[in-house]
């Protein structure tokens, strides 16, 4: 999912021969460089009332049994180093630029192969089920990881309420498309809006949640406010942010990164240390704030006992 290489990699090592042969990937890399330079040059400080606004605490959050007993990353780690390409291609760009995102009012349309399609207000969605704090490992395909105390509710609670039909085999998610609020959408960095998808049985799994907060607070803009998907056994690019539409479909949907670079980013995107990214190994990861890839990557990000049965009989090298 890289557009820019990490700063610890020499510029002479960024582009290899394969990248030149892959026209789509070459265009993606070039457009990101230009767009990133423009955004950086035009970047403005957030308005004072936004920059100084206190975080909003989420009330009534319960601790979940779905948790890992590992040290948490700091709130600063989580909110200042992340991918949200709608606000820029550097890891620090979302925190600097996402103040332009307006998260109220906000609605999420649920449609397609369901018996009860509905457009939900965000505050209505947050009351569908008790909000839980779930401490999950979060693994990026770029080989860095964190441990994050997400707050949300099971995705299956929403799915059960809209009653999918027998034709519903997949769930497609779509991010907001608004070039005024999301400045990187003015450029061809990706094909906008951002789209992701899951099989219906994956979406129904109790580990998959819709997150509305972290560290006891309302989800910050740069982390996907007001509502995002978290699928902890998959690479982070599957966990789509700022969702405005959820559609139940019969056929496997095309997704953003699969469209942009199908040989690098497959539909499933399960964390699998045995399958390398074409340009780097996935056998180990850099657990932030560490500078080194010293943590062994676990199959399904450590959730194999819970989710491996979903992929029985599937070639996870072919279906990466």
**Statement: residue 46 has pLDDT above 90:** no
Sheet (strand 107-112) strand order: 118-121, 107-112, 243-249, 170-175, 195-199
* Per-residue model confidence as pLDDT tens digits over 73-91: 999 999 999 999 999 999 9
**Model-level pTM?**
0.84
36-50: b or e for each residue (b if 16 or more CB lie within 10 Å)?
beebeeeeeebeeee
Distance CA 320, CA 317 (A): 5
pLDDT bin (cut points 50, 70, 90) of residue 106 is very high
pLDDT at position 32: 42
Share of the chain above pLDDT 70, in %: 83
Those residues with Cβ within 8 angstroms of residue 129's Cβ, 6 or more apart along the chain or in another chain: 153, 154, 157
pLDDT bin (cut points 50, 70, 90) of residue 55 is confident
* Per-residue model confidence as pLDDT tens digits over 196-221: 999 999 999 999 999 999 999 999 99
In the structure encoding, which two tokens stand for residue 222, read together? Answer: 């740069």
Distances (CA, A) of 10 to 6, 140, 142, 281, 291: 9, 21, 16, 17, 15
Distance CA 248, CA 288 (A): 35
Go through the domains of the chain in sequence order and give each one's CATH number: 11-311 (3.90.420.10)
pLDDT at position 42: 37
* Per-residue model confidence as pLDDT tens digits over 62-76: 999 999 999 999 999
pLDDT at position 146: 98
Distance CA 17, CA 77 (A): 34
Those residues with Cβ within 8 angstroms of residue 220's Cβ, 6 or more apart along the chain or in another chain: 55, 79, 98, 214
Give the range among 14-23, 114-123, 183-192, 250-259 with minimum mean pLDDT.
Answer: 14-23
* Per-residue model confidence as pLDDT tens digits over 134-175: 999 999 999 999 999 999 999 999 999 999 999 999 999 999
Kindly state the helix (H) or strand (E) to which residue 107 belongs, with its residue range. strand 107-112
CA atoms within 13 A on the CB side of 8: 6
């Amino acid at each position: 999912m890289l557009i820019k290489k990490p700063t610890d990699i020499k510029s002479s090592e960024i582009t290899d021969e394969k990248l030149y042969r892959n026209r789509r990937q070459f265009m993606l890399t070039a457009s990101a460089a230009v767009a990133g330079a423009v955004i950086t040059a035009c970047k403005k400080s957030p308005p004072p009332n936004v920059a100084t606004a206190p975080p909003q605490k989420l009330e009534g959050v319960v601790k979940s049994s779905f948790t890992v007993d590992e040290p948490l990353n700091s709130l600063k780690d989580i909110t200042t180093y992340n991918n949200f390409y709608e606000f820029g291609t550097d890891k620090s760009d979302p925190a600097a630029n996402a103040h332009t995102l307006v998260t109220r009012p906000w609605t999420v349309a649920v449609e397609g192969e369901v018996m009860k399609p509905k457009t939900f207000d965000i505050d209505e969605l947050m009351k569908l089920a008790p909000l839980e704090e779930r401490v999950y490992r979060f693994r990026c395909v770029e080989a860095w990881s964190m441990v994050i105390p997400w707050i949300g509710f099971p995705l299956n609670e929403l799915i059960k309420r809209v009653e999918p039909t027998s034709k519903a085999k997949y769930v497609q998610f779509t991010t907001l498309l608004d070039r005024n609020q999301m400045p990187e959408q003015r450029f061809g960095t990706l094909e906008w809006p951002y789209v992701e998808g899951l099989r219906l049985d994956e979406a129904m799994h109790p580990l998959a949640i819709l997150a509305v907060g972290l560290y006891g607070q309302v989800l910050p803009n740069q982390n996907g406010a007001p509502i995002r998907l978290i699928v902890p056994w998959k690479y982070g690019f599957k966990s789509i942010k700022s969702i405005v539409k959820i559609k139940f479909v019969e056929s496997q949907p095309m997704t953003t990164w699969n469209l942009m670079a199908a040989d690098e980013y497959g539909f499933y995107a399960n964390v699998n240390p045995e399958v390398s990214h074409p340009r780097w190994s996935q056998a180990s990861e850099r657990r932030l704030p560490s500078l080194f890839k010293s943590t062994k990557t676990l199959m399904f990000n450590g959730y194999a006992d819970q989710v491996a049965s979903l992929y029985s009989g599937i070639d996870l090298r072919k279906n990466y």
